[in-house]
Structure 1
Amino acid sequence: MDHLRGRILGHPRKDLANYIEGRGTYIYAESSPMDITRFPFSGVTPAALRVETKSVVHTFTALQNHLITTVTPSTATFGNIVRPLIDEINNVKYRTNILVLLSRASPDPRIRQAARDASVELANAEARLWLRADLAALVSAAYEWEMNHSNLDAQDRAVLDHVRGVFSRSGATLRDEADRARVEKAQAEISAINAAAIKDLTEASEGLWYTRRELAGCPGAWIATLKKEAVSGQEDELSDDDKILVPQRDDCFVHVLRSAINEETRRTFFLAYHRRCPENIDRLGQVVRLRDEVARLLGFENHAALKIQETMTKSIDKLQKTLDSLQSDLMALAESDIAKLVELKRADQKLSRDDVTLHPWDRLYYTDLQMKQHYSVDQAKVSEYFEVNHVVLEMLKLFEELFGIVFVPMPELDTWHHTVSPYSVCDGEQEGGGFLGFLYIDIFERPGKFSSQYHSRMQPGYFDTDGTRHFPVSALVCSYPDLLPHRDVRIIFHELGHAIHHLVERTKYAMGQSKDFGETPSKMLEHFVWLPEVMVRLSRHRQDDSKLPQDLANALAKSKTLNLAVRLLGLMQPAMFDLAIYTPKSANEASSIDTTAIWNQSRNKCLPYKDVEGEELFGQASFSPAFRGYDAGYFTYVMSEVYAADLFETAFARNPLSPAIGRRWRYQVLERGSSQPELEMLGRFLGRPLDIHAVLAQIAGGQTP
């Protein structure tokens, strides 16, 4: 690694200075180019965030005004209007994308709040840009000229289409100035509401108290991490009646629902988990009404019809038909799975056949029992082999081999928390050894941190007009304890997949990706964690460093499609809800939207087990994608799952760890980002169009007899 570290530290000064300085980015105390070993996240202050935000907005607005005064419709071209505009948008992203990370992961609540405030201000500034009729007219004139006179390359043409489309979908082409003003105001209101909702979701501290007896069956190592209240006064030796506080976090939900023997414990925690953040019910209703109003002002039938333009799918009618067909097919496949779980519950509780009802808080518990009985797999024992640091390090090595990249630890870099691990990322020697970017891994849970797992594009990669390369920076942000169930190993693989996609992407512009395309490579990579050889490789027992036994790895691999139809229906439910709230038949219907009723209706339609009678749930209040950019877009998780199944089975399944196939995937798909039509690009990789039915065949072929 030393020769690689030397190359990174000795990177050509011009490029490295541009990367490190970030053109004035707020994380630096001084404005001069800085050495890579002095990356001062610790210098961030709320005041600095405010100053930098105002500077960015000022510069951004000044550039727009300059273009208006120097370019006319008769002289507008790609080079003098679109390119400088997109360059400045890229620069703004480069300086400010990190706000998302700081708002969710900074240990300082003042910085989290300042980052949220700054994000709202920047969102409003961006909304004002896309509402400028004068700029939209110049872009439209440039488009007409370029279509008739120039030979733009594919990426230039794609970004021209993109910019023109965003102006149109944002309201800049509205003739009525009052309508444009209303759109701007509504977008500002939406940004403020979303920030408040994410704040509450990030910093919520609710939990339920249970006795040790009530948590019987749950992993002792997990219970040991929780807050205790000893009735006996003996903290070191808890009795069965002493109290334990279980936070309403995702990991706790899985532990309780999967392991707690007491059904009442599972039931109460399930209900509490789906009643978090009640204040977000009204916020979501407000956001739905505002988004619907904006969509109708822009000439769209509803918000979903507007947002679908930003995906590979393009058609709401086609999407809904596809989802309805998948839902029907999955429901048929799930019937036999549910019947087996019902029989397990009947035998477990010694009930008569007529007395058995499988509730939503039963599914994970009896699936776990099914794993033990049919596959001899104890998930609690399995998790002892997946220590989070070792899992991540082995994943990085696997990605190195597949994609020809190298991760170099850089402990000298400053971070936002002492548990964060920074890496420089380079091409391997056979790929030319060039510098690719930086990766930060923030894996452990802590107070105040957003308790979810995600990839953050801290800074985009792109080229300036003069050819200067700005290198991407990614962060893997999770909230995990030391040991992971296999489910969470899969999630880390998914989120690291997003980071790899970002780091190896090599496009002129930081355009972003269609969400259904962006999720597909990461969903495809999830298939790797079901390979026995990969499971063994990622494993290391916490006590004796032993590997996951081969027979246990083989058994886990055989369970890959166990209840998969049920799990996909669980993914389908929020997708159906998300589309339903954004496809009202009228503005009046949107203004009186009852998101709680629609949430529960979608559960009754999509979930193949009996839901909660007489117990109203409002899980939409804690459905964070609704507030963080996946509005009318959650279906992308369903569709990417379907696409990924076809991609893996067709291209990877026969020889999944082949470096040749990994390189082909990298260079033909990942590296190209969205610089080409995405569905066509995936089709070229396969040699045929994607098959959405492949996943159904896999489920049918892998169901437990």
Structure 2
Amino acid sequence: MASENPLLTTSTPPFGIPDYAAIRAEHYLPAFDQAFDEHLAEIAAITRVPSAATFENTMIPLEKSGKLLGDVARAFFTVAGADSTDEIQELEQVLAPRLSAHQDAIQLDSDLYARIKHVYDELDALDLDPEQRYLVERHYFEMTRAGAGLDDAQKAELTAINQRISTLMAAFEKNLLNDTNDHAVVFDAAEELSGLSAGELSAAAQAATDRGLDGKWIVTLTLFTGHPYLSSLTDRESRRRILEASRSRGRRGNEHDNAMTLRELVRLRARRAALLGFASHAAYTTADETARSAEAVESRLRKLAPAAARNARREQAALQRIIDDGDAPFTLEAHDWAFYTEKLRQAEYDIDTAALRPWFEAERVLQDGVFRAATDLYGITFEERPDIRGYHPDVRAFEVRNADRSVLGVYLLDLYTRDTKRGGAWMNSLVEQSRLRGTQPVVVNNLNVSKPATGTPTLLTLDEVTTLFHEFGHALHGLFATVSYPHFAGTNVCRDFVEFPSQVNEMWIYWPEILASYARHIDTDEPLPGDLVERLRASGTFNEGFSTSEYLAAAWIDQAWHVLSPTEAAEEMDIDEFEARALADIGLDNPVVPPRYSSPYFAHIFAGGYSAGYYSYIWSEVLDADTVEWFRENGGLTRANGDRFREKLLGVGGSKDPLEAYRDFRGRDADIRPLLERRGLTD
């Protein structure tokens, strides 16, 4: 009964946070059923209005509609990503095509489209503020692009394609989660993991115990191709086993094989694009991004790749010289890169990144680093709320207040990895801010840090510190966006703009007063030595050839799949051969530098929202690098700078064209030069 379903009653926890203490898996499907019906009834009420369409009788009720569905969906998909049991996975498989069909029922509604088009055609005669005007423009553009103008037969085909795509994406993620768990590497002796810290060994032992393998050690896999442990493990065979396991995911010919799934996805996306009047899925996707065209993306990637590949080959030669000078020379392979890179870093800069971990205790990084930077910059403060229960015992809640002590929203942090959590790191909204609905934001950050045994401190790698600052940048975007209409809430912006705020937030990692605050030794409380900090800064472009090449290789694989026409996509192809041809085409076919993701475990593009959009990280980085330069030119970590960045960019959410918002902030378009310098690509 609805009265007994916590998803269909007023939330007991504050801020509209779902009552996860009461929610059970069997509550979700009935809640979705009611939410679907309620949303359709709300849309039907709009289209039955006999008078001509106006902003007030069409756009306002449209923005008010679907609240229950949004609430239920955010509650469910938060759990589906971070604590996905078998039952939740089965529900996701059931819901995927139904959600797609429901979305199409709204987006392809001819009567609703006609009313929105009427308001759109009358825009110049209406007295609307900029956000209202942009709302009409966006809804009209999005429905047009989605196919609202197609005939009934075309809409039927489109709906079937969309449902199948959503089903395949859910299947891809399920396969990847299960195969990643199955590929976790078991070690029989601690000696095989020589080079790991006590905390890392503790985490590996705990992972084995959790699977009933007492006395053994398990290394679970990250989402990306490499693994943080590859830089520390002295046993070459252990390194090889971990990287081989990582690269084998989704391609073993078993029930978790993703080859057939991704090939069908590519075919269906190409067919859908053609049906909607686009040459390819990449053309369809970029039409609604700041890039505007697949050709612009290809041009940017082709310009960056040659210098990145040259830098990677120079780095490879330097690593090979270290090996050749050793007692038993061998040819450098992909699983050796991270280990010998650390040796080279020590030789050139006297930096051992593994030895930095005692300075990066997780709680101190969070409180005195991530939160401190936000307080100094924006005046916001954080108070832990242990009374707010998340979807898992590891989830922590913090109430966020503005400088005037008014409540801004809630930040949830889910730090640790587990078998029920998908790989990678991300931010999502649990409650979206809207003046129209009177809601305040609740945002979630998920990471996958290995959890040590009870009583052992959590010590982060430098990469994990970077990830925490990065994801918190997304959280700030979600918290600060202050809009009237839900359509523009939080991070609802162009995909190739959404990474910009998160990348900017990484700049505070090395900012002197922030670094001095959080980077203190776990045992002695000594700050990170000043000369070491200078060496870290001096090594800013170290290994950038590898980093840029592995990223660009993945971005290019994404584009290669999604620029295919329906005819090309229909051809039978071997995935490894396809990737090899694509990488050779752009000059990134170096076997020692594998792509950051290979297709069978490329969740961003085959299970997430980055299809034909993985380029967005480096596209956004142009804005990011230019913004970092602005902060430095204007005094850095000051409230005045933070307030401007918040007002002009983070605070507008999706209520303004993102490049226009950037020009409002910077006074001009972004300059690519700072990015080229940062990445070591100036030649």
Moved more, 38-47 or 389-398: 38-47
1:439: how far off? 1.0
1:489: how far off? 0.4
Q: Is the 8 A contact 2:11 2:17 kept in 1?
A: no
Name the SS for the 2:427 alignment partner. Answer: strand
> Cα 1:591–1:421, aligned 2, differ >3 Å: closer, same or farther?
same
1:268: how far off? 3.0
Q: Which letter does structure 1 place at the counterpart of 2:33?
A: K
- 1: distance between equivalents of 2:281 and 2:589? 31
What's the counterpart of residue 105 of structure 2? 128
Task: Report whether the alignment pairs 1:425 with 2:400.
Answer: yes
Provide Cα deviations, 1:235-268, integer angstroms capped at 9, x if missing partner.
99x7xxxx53322235995233212223333233
Q: Is the 8 A contact 1:105 1:112 kept in 2?
A: no
Question: 5 Å matches for 1:385-424?
Answer: 385-394=359-368, 395-424=370-399
- 1: distance between equivalents of 2:47 and 2:563? 37
Q: Which letter does structure 2 place at the counterpart of 1:322?
A: R
What's the counterpart of residue 357 of structure 2? 383
- 2: distance between equivalents of 1:674 and 1:25? 36
- 2: distance between equivalents of 1:294 and 1:274? 30
> Cα 1:604–1:536, aligned 2, differ >3 Å: closer, same or farther?
farther
Name the SS for the 2:181 alignment partner. Answer: coil
What's the counterpart of residue 266 of structure 1? 239
What's the counterpart of residue 596 of structure 1? 576
Q: Is the 8 A contact 1:454 1:495 kept in 2?
A: yes
What's the counterpart of residue 479 of structure 1? 448
Task: Report whether the alignment pairs 1:448 with 2:420.
Answer: yes
Name the SS for the 2:287 alignment partner. Answer: helix
Provide Cα deviations, 1:591-648, integer angstroms capped at 9, x if missing partner.
53544333333445567684079x9999211111021111111110121123211211
Q: Is the 8 A contact 1:540 1:548 kept in 2?
A: yes
Task: Report whether the alignment pairs 1:296 with 2:274.
Answer: yes
What's the counterpart of residue 667 of structure 2? 687
> Cα 1:346–1:71, aligned 2, differ >3 Å: closer, same or farther?
farther
Of 47, 64, 73, the residue aligned with 2:43 is: 64
What's the counterpart of residue 61 of structure 2? 84
1:499: how far off? 0.5
- 2: distance between equivalents of 1:592 and 1:152? 52
What's the counterpart of residue 244 of structure 1? 217
Question: 5 Å matches for 1:577-616?
Answer: 577-604=557-584, 610-611=590-591
Q: Which letter does structure 1 place at the counterpart of 2:655?
A: S
- 1: distance between equivalents of 2:158 and 2:597? 29
> Cα 1:702–1:489, aligned 2, differ >3 Å: closer, same or farther?
farther
- 1: distance between equivalents of 2:500 and 2:113? 33
- 2: distance between equivalents of 1:34 and 1:261? 49
Q: Which letter does structure 1 place at the counterpart of 2:443?
A: S
Task: Report whether the alignment pairs 1:139 with 2:111.
Answer: no
- 2: distance between equivalents of 1:662 and 1:591? 52
Of 598, 606, 628, the residue aligned with 1:619 is: 598
1:174: how far off? 0.7
Quote the RMSD (CA, aligned, Å).
3.1
What's the counterpart of residue 454 of structure 2? none
Q: Is the 8 A contact 2:430 2:443 kept in 1?
A: yes
Question: 5 Å matches for 1:653-672?
Answer: 655-672=635-652
Q: Is the 8 A contact 2:15 2:442 kept in 1?
A: no
Q: How many residues align?
A: 657
> Cα 1:604–1:361, aligned 2, differ >3 Å: closer, same or farther?
farther
Task: Report whether the alignment pairs 1:340 with 2:318.
Answer: yes
What's the counterpart of residue 27 of structure 2? 48
Q: Is the 8 A contact 2:36 2:102 kept in 1?
A: yes
Name the SS for the 1:640 alignment partner. Answer: helix
What's the counterpart of residue 457 of structure 1? 429
1:392: how far off? 1.4
> Cα 1:385–1:228, aligned 2, differ >3 Å: closer, same or farther?
closer
Unaligned runs of 5+ in 2: 252-256, 451-457
What's the counterpart of residue 11 of structure 1? none
- 1: distance between equivalents of 2:382 and 2:679? 36
1:516: how far off? 1.4
Task: Report whether the alignment pairs 1:178 with 2:153.
Answer: yes
Provide Cα deviations, 1:293-325, integer angstroms capped at 9, x if missing partner.
111011111111111122111122122111111
- 2: distance between equivalents of 1:174 and 1:591? 27
Of 159, 163, 173, the residue aligned with 1:198 is: 173
Q: Which letter does structure 2 place at the counterpart of 1:648?
A: V
1:375: how far off? 1.7
- 2: distance between equivalents of 1:213 and 1:653? 50
Provide Cα deviations, 1:147-170, integer angstroms capped at 9, x if missing partner.
4x2122211121111111121121
- 2: distance between equivalents of 1:411 and 1:25? 26
- 2: distance between equivalents of 1:519 and 1:700? 21
Of 509, 529, 536, the residue aligned with 2:509 is: 529
What's the counterpart of residue 363 of structure 1? 337
Q: Is the 8 A contact 1:76 1:139 kept in 2?
A: yes
> Cα 1:35–1:436, aligned 2, differ >3 Å: closer, same or farther?
closer
> Cα 1:132–1:397, aligned 2, differ >3 Å: closer, same or farther?
same
- 1: distance between equivalents of 2:159 and 2:479? 34
Q: TM-score, normalised by structure 2?
A: 0.89
Q: Is the 8 A contact 1:474 1:499 kept in 2?
A: yes
- 1: distance between equivalents of 2:92 and 2:267? 26
- 2: distance between equivalents of 1:202 and 1:645? 34
What's the counterpart of residue 142 of structure 2? 166
- 2: distance between equivalents of 1:116 and 1:440? 26
Of 186, 200, 216, the residue aligned with 1:209 is: 186
- 2: distance between equivalents of 1:533 and 1:251? 32
